Amino acid sequence: MQFKARIDLTDVIDGGHGEIPKILALRQHPNPFRGLTQFEIALPQAGQVSLKIFDLQGREVVTLWDGYKSAGKFSAHWNGKDHLREEIASGMYFSVLRFIKNGKQSQSEKEDISVLKQQLLYLK
């Protein structure tokens, strides 16, 4: 059995006319990419955000963002280089967006943390 779905995140990312996004969202384009790609992140509330790229073995390639962000939208770019500023090999990678609501994780509430993952294909 195959299941195909198309999800349009335009309103989620754009949030209408300058409104705060409704849900946490991560959108990357172009994909596959060569040279430069852009990530659009929508935050429904303020919190601690990290956006990292990992290879297929689970090794961290680079951190694109790690810090506190207010609710709203922001973007990050990646040029296909690792933390040493060396060009990576062509292939499949994963972006991981980790979000902690209000920048604090309570001991009893695991729902304070959200993680979004996305596959990336880098071409030389």
Give the residue with greater pLDDT, 102 vs 59. Answer: 59
Q: Is pLDDT at 6 greater than 80 in this prediction? A: no
Q: Is pLDDT at 10 greater than 70 in this prediction? A: no
Domains of the chain and any CATH numbers? 10-122 (2.60.40.4070)
Indicate the pTM of the whole model: 0.79
Question: In the prediction, which pLDDT does 20 show?
Answer: 87
B/e letters for 15-53, b = 16+ CB within 10 Å, e = fewer, are beeeeebeebbbbbeeeebeeebebbbbbbeebbbebbb
pLDDT confidence tier of residue 34, bands split at 50, 70 and 90: very high
pLDDT tens digits, one per residue of 46-62:
999 999 999 999 999 99
Q: How many Cα atoms are found within 13 Å in the side-chain-facing hemisphere of 64?
A: 24
The tokens describing 57, both together, are 């073995």
Q: Is pLDDT at 124 greater than 50 in this prediction? A: yes
The tokens describing 109, both together, are 């509430």
In angstroms, the CA 93 to CA 95 distance is: 7
Question: In the prediction, which pLDDT does 113 show?
Answer: 87
Would you give the DSSP letter of residue 123?
A: -
Which residues on adjacent β-strands are paired with residue 122?
33, 91
> Is the distance from CB of 82 to CB of 57 less than 8 angstroms?
no
